[in-house]
Amino acid sequence: PVLIGAAIVGGYLLGSIPFGVIATRLGGAGDVRSIGSGSIGATNVLRTGRKDLAAITLLGDGGKGAVAVLIAWLATKDGPKEAQAVLVALAAASAFLGHLFPVWLKFKGGKGVATFFGTLLAAAWPVGMAAGATWLAVAFLFRISSLAGLTAVALAPVFAFVFHRGLPIIYLTLFMAVLVFFRHADNIRRLLKGEEPRIGGGKKDAA
Ligand code: G3P
């Protein structure tokens, strides 16, 4: 019970660190929430024109998910494997929720794609790699970040089923996929209208 509480609270607190907001403020690029889509993620940080800050945001938002998973994994490494898998999934889901609903930003957080990748690469790397390859392929073909993210998260439960036998990972990918889709409601509307901006697009493209 102590470990479960620690995984949930610790995961949430780690996940709630808004790297996009911190990086743009400290990097002198203003507040990322007032530009582009208003999102705090790496895709929107890139719209400030600062690739370095976007990279920091991507690594930070992904890294915090991976760290939450690794701590949970280490804390349970001497126990039964089933319990470890459940605790890892709990820590991952908590970090993901922390990113989406951070208490520090009045619960208005990010869309979850980077943190989804971070937790998944740490918790079940073949699933994370397959989802990452999906993101890259779609981004390469269409140059639209949201479309790449949505495709990757939608396929993740399938990859989890194919590569990983553990139910906790399958539930985790399903849970995160549903929330990522909800968080992308505006993006999905723009995609359907053909108005979603492209990665590296000029001023005209900045939504
Ligand atoms: O990872 C976030 C991406 O899918 C969408 O971001 O800023 O274009 O709404 P944005």
Distance 68 CA to ligand 1 centre (A): 23
Distance 182 CA to ligand 1 centre (A): 12
Residue 90 tokens, joined: 């709990």
**Ligand 1 pocket at CB < 6 A:** 36-37, 39, 41, 43-44, 111, 113, 145-146, 149, 187
Which contacts qualify for 49-52: CB closer than 8 Å, 24 or more apart? 50/24, 52/27
Q: Residue 181 has what pLDDT?
A: 98
Q: Which atom of ligand 1 is nearest to the CA of 44?
A: 7
Q: Residue 186 has what pLDDT?
A: 94
Distance 128 CA to ligand 1 centre (A): 19
Residues 17-33 have a mean pLDDT of: 94
Residue nearest to atom 3 of ligand 1 (CA): 146
Q: pTM for the complete prediction?
A: 0.92
Tell me the C-alpha distance between 113 and 22, whole Å. Answer: 18
Q: Which atom of ligand 1 is nearest to the CA of 112?
A: 1
Q: Looking at the chain, how many residues does it have?
A: 207
Q: Which of 13-22, 66-75, 160-169, 170-179 has the lowest mean pLDDT?
A: 160-169
Distance 13 CA to ligand 1 centre (A): 22
The answer on pLDDT for 203 being more than 70 is no
Q: Residue 202 has what pLDDT?
A: 52
Convert the pLDDT of each residue in 30-62 to its tens digit. Answer: 899 999 889 999 989 999 999 999 999 999 999
From the number of C-beta atoms within 10 Å of its C-beta (0-12, 13-18, 19+), residue 19 rates as: buried
Q: Which atom of ligand 1 is nearest to the CA of 111?
A: 2
Looking at residue 52, its amino acid is D
**3-class secondary-structure state, position 50:** coil
The answer on pLDDT for 66 being more than 70 is yes
Convert the pLDDT of each residue in 89-142 to its tens digit. Answer: 999 999 999 999 999 998 999 999 999 999 999 999 999 999 999 999 999 999
Which of 33, 44, 53 is the pocket-test mutation for ligand 1 (most atoms within 8 Å of CB)?
44
Q: Residue 204 has what pLDDT?
A: 44
- Percent of the chain surpassing pLDDT 90: 86
Residue nearest to atom 7 of ligand 1 (CA): 44
Convert the pLDDT of each residue in 145-169 to its tens digit. Answer: 999 999 999 999 999 999 977 899 9
Tell me the C-alpha distance between 32 and 74, whole Å. Answer: 35
From the number of C-beta atoms within 10 Å of its C-beta (0-12, 13-18, 19+), residue 185 rates as: exposed
State the CB neighbour count (10 A cutoff) for residue 84. Answer: 19
Confidence of residue 207 (pLDDT cuts 50, 70, 90): very low
The answer on pLDDT for 22 being more than 60 is yes
